């Protein structure tokens, strides 16, 4: 009997030990996870850049991607929780991602409020295009966007500036890892430069190609890769195409020899196809943001590579069609 | 992914506002139903939107209050227009309301295009999302709803006249312009119509208000829990649950009708 009791109590101790070890492993694991800096980004591109800079020190979440219109993201309860736990946020700003700012406000997390330590001014150092000039006494009608075109993240030089802004903020908040962040920024910048060199070489034959875009999404991108944007299908940003605007645009496109109509996947494809029929410009669906679940669009560099190659492919197709005729 | 208890305090204002929305909108919904002009609510909501966008046209960057005031004025104006035609037959009334809806919608698009700036921003400002509602919003809206509720209890017209219709549609405009800016057109429209329709299918008209309230409250509760548990957008989830109940009711009603027909045939 005594022996049995001893065995039982020994078993108890072993069991208790196992339980304690298990609990310890859980807490260890969660403390290792807790050490990671929680970053929330409205779009996939900023998230990808932050991952490149922060490496294993950050835990980045993106709330939208290239398949969705970043102007309108339907908020979900989990998004508020992500904001609640965030230490750093990377907003687009310039009034594009108002939903993201609403989420920040709703989170009641003072760390990420505008002007707080965890709020990155993502476009600092980026040259914002199309900022309307106001002249005193003149009517304000006709200004496109009070703070300029907010789709600034696609061209590589701006992506590098964004990377710098993220690195600066992370180094400020976590000075012990400053060198790590700076080294990663250098690596990332080099990666971009290499990719861009190839793309520029591939694209050099097509520089100066004329295109029309649906929304003012690709203005910066086109500026960088020397694609000439002749106009937009929207008469004003956010206003769906009107017949008179489209017919004027079509005239202009024919006169100038526009070869492409570029648009994002969530735009009205029928409108694009109609305009293409009248003008014989080729509908070219490209992306303004990466898409993690699609391999060829999975990160920022893949995204610009995809866009440029898609454009090249479509121009070549148009050239071939012409030859056949 | 996250714990329910973490999210709960954050969405509590949203939950409270949806209860208030149920209380006031289901009431107005039954009244709208009585008048046979189901689409009056969406027409009024659209005219509130038109008024608010006109505020942007005139003042460029109007304050929240000014935007609301313009919304209210516009919805009252179109409310009077609708109420002036209430004596006519139902088909004409519905048609007229449809015309008002088309008019206010197209005028809004014209106004937005004349603003010459990104309309995304303005659209965002004018149509709210229930998840972003704050306690302040809840209190402000509840005050408006409370006062209007009291007014409706005091002034119970015995007979419909132009004055009573004017009173009805202007208070309705006040409520709708406030609620649309908080919760968006779709949720407001659904609260007005769907519970009443469901109740009409299943229950005697004596209990319409009470049963509509119950249906709306239960859908809201289920919608909220589903939205949190499955991480779905909140308003669309509530609306879907609400409409699911409607289809269940429709199914039950159809079976009842079929049985009745069979019985008639047999006898």
**pLDDT tens sequence across B138-189:** 999 999 999 999 999 998 877 778 788 888 888 988 898 888 888 888 888 8
- Structure letter (DSSP) for residue A38: E
Handedness of CA A255, A258, A259, A262 (dihedral sign): negative
ipTM of the complex, rounded to two decimals: 0.76
Distances (CA, A) of B205 to A49, B33, B210: 61, 11, 10
Question: Among all residues of chain A, which has the CA nearest to that of B120?
Answer: A238
**Which residue in A75, A78, A96 is closest to B129 by CB distance?**
A75
Check for a shared fold between A35-126+146-190 and A199-324: yes
Question: Among all residues of chain B, which has the CA nearest to that of A99?
Answer: B124
Q: Return the CATH superfamily for domain A35-126+146-190.
A: Nitrogenase molybdenum iron protein domain (3.40.50.1980)
**Which residue in B1, B118, B131 is closest to A238 by CB distance?**
B118
Strand order in the sheet with A282-285: A228-232, A210-213, A260-263, A282-285
**Average pLDDT value for residue range A70-89:** 92
CATH of the domain at B130: 1.10.3470.10
pLDDT of A14? 63
The band of A139, judged by pLDDT with boundaries at 50, 70 and 90, is: very low
A23-27, A220-224, A293-297, B204-208: least confidently modelled range: A23-27
Q: Please name every residue paired with A232 in a beta bridge, in sequence order, or none if there are none.
A: A213
Are A76 and B227 inside 8 Å of each other by CB? yes
Q: How many distinct structural domains can be found in chain B?
A: 1
pLDDT of B1? 55
Q: Please name every residue paired with A40 in a beta bridge, in sequence order, or none if there are none.
A: A61, A89
- How many residues make up chain B in this entry? 267
- Structure letter (DSSP) for residue A119: B
Are B234 and A78 inside 8 Å of each other by CB? no
The whole domain housing B212 covers: 4-266
Are A145 and B11 inside 8 Å of each other by CB? no
> Residue ranges per domain, chain A?
35-126+146-190, 199-324
* Model confidence at A96: pLDDT above 60: yes
Are B132 and A143 inside 8 Å of each other by CB? no
Q: Measured between alpha carbons, how far apart are the two ends of chain A, in Å?
A: 101
pLDDT of A19? 62
For residues B113-145, one letter each, b for 16 or more C-beta atoms within 10 angstroms of the residue's C-beta and e for the rest, the string is: bebbbbbbbbbbbbbbbbbbbeeebbeebbebb
Q: Which CATH class is domain A199-324?
A: alpha beta
pLDDT digits (tens, 9 = 90+) for B9-51: 788 899 999 999 999 999 999 998 888 887 887 888 889 889 9
pLDDT of A137? 46
């Amino acid at each position: 009997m005594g022996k049995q009791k001893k065995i039982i109590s020994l078993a108890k101790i072993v069991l208790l030990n196992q339980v304690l070890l298990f609990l310890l492993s859980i807490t260890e694991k969660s403390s290792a996870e807790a050490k990671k800096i929680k970053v929330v980004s409205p779009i996939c591109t900023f998230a990808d850049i932050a991952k490149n800079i922060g490496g294993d020190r950050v835990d980045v979440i993106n709330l939208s991607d290239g398949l969705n219109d970043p102007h309108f993201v339907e908020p979900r309860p989990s998004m508020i929780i992500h904001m609640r736990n965030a230490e750093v946020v990377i907003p687009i700003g310039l009034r594009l991602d108002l939903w993201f700012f609403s989420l920040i406000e709703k989170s009641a997390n003072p760390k990420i409020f505008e002007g707080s330590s965890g709020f990155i001014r993502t476009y600092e150092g980026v040259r914002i295009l199309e900022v309307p000039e106001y002249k005193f006494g003149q009517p304000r009608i006709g200004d496109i966007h009070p703070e300029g075109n907010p789709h600034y993240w696609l061209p590589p030089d701006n992506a590098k500036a964004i990377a710098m802004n993220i690195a600066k903020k992370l180094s400020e908040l976590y000075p012990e890892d400053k060198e790590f962040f700076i080294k990663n920024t250098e690596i990332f910048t080099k990666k971009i430069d290499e990719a861009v060199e190839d793309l520029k070489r591939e694209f050099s034959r097509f520089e100066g190609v004329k295109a029309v875009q649906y929304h003012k999404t690709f203005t910066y991108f086109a500026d960088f890769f020397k694609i000439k944007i002749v106009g937009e299908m929207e008469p004003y940003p956010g206003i769906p195409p009107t017949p008179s605007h489209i017919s004027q645009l079509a005239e202009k496109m024919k006169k100038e020899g526009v070869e492409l109509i570029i648009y994002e996947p969530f735009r009205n494809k029928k409108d694009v196809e109609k305009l293409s029929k009248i003008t014989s410009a080729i509908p070219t669906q490209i992306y303004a943001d990466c898409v993690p679940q699609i391999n060829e669009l999975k990160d920022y560099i893949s995204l610009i590579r995809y866009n440029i190659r898609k454009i090249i492919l479509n121009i070549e197709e148009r050239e071939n069609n012409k030859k056949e005729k | 992914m996250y714990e329910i208890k973490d999210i709960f305090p954050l969405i509590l204002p949203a939950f409270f506002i949806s209860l208030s929305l149920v209380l006031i909108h289901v009431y107005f919904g039954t009244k709208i139903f009585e008048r046979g002009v189901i689409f009056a609510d969406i027409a009024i909501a659209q005219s509130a939107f038109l008024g608010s966008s006109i505020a942007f046209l005139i003042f460029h960057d109007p304050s929240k209050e000014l935007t609301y005031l313009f919304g209210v004025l516009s919805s009252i104006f179109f409310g009077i227009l609708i109420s002036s035609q209430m004596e006519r037959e139902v088909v004409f009334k519905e048609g007229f309301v449809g015309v008002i809806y088309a008019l206010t919608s197209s005028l809004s698009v014209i106004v937005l295009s004349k603003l010459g700036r990104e309309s995304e921003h303005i659209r965002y400002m004018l149509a709210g999302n229930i998840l972003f509602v704050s306690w302040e919003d809840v209190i402000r809206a509840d005050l408006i709803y409370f006062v209007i509720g009291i007014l409706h209890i005091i002034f119970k017209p015995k007979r419909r006249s132009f004055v009573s219709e004017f009173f009805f549609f202007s208070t309705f405009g006040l409520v709708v312009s406030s609620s649309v800016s908080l919760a968006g057109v779709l949720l407001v429209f659904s609260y007005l119509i769907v519970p009443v329709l469901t109740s009409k299918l299943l229950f005697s008209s004596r209990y319409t208000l009470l049963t509509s309230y119950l249906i709306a409250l239960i859908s809201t509760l289920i919608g909220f829990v589903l939205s949190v548990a499955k991480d779905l957008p909140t308003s669309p989830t509530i609306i879907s649950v609400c409409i699911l109940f409607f289809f269940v009711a429709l199914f039950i009603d159809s079976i009842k009708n079929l049985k009745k027909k069979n019985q008639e045939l047999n006898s």
